[in-house]
Amino acid sequence: MAPARRSWQAAPVGRGERYRFRRTDGPESWTVVFTPDRVLPEPGSTAPADVEVAGPAPDLALFLWQRLPATGLRVTGDAALLPYYFTLVPPV
């Protein structure tokens, strides 16, 4: 989703930001790294992330589509970086 949305609208280049989205109702997590050249998905990565958002999969999906605020999810790491995700991945 992130690479496609970035191709549909102009977005700033990444500076190595690492966002992790971890579901609490299953074992999966997804890390997204924004480099100057591209967006790198890292499913299941255990490397440190700048910020992590955790919650049930449906709530994570709603958050990523900006249909649910992060207040209902568990945010760890640099929470101030979280709103910038939607600058790096513009809404459609």
The predicted pLDDT at position 9 comes to 83
User: Count of residues for the chain?
Assistant: 92
Domain harbouring 66, CATH code: 3.30.1050.10
Q: What is the pTM of this model?
A: 0.90
Domain count, the chain: 1
Tens digits of residue pLDDT in 2-54: 878 888 888 889 999 999 999 999 999 999 999 988 889 998 899 999 999 99
| Domain limits for position 35 | 2-88
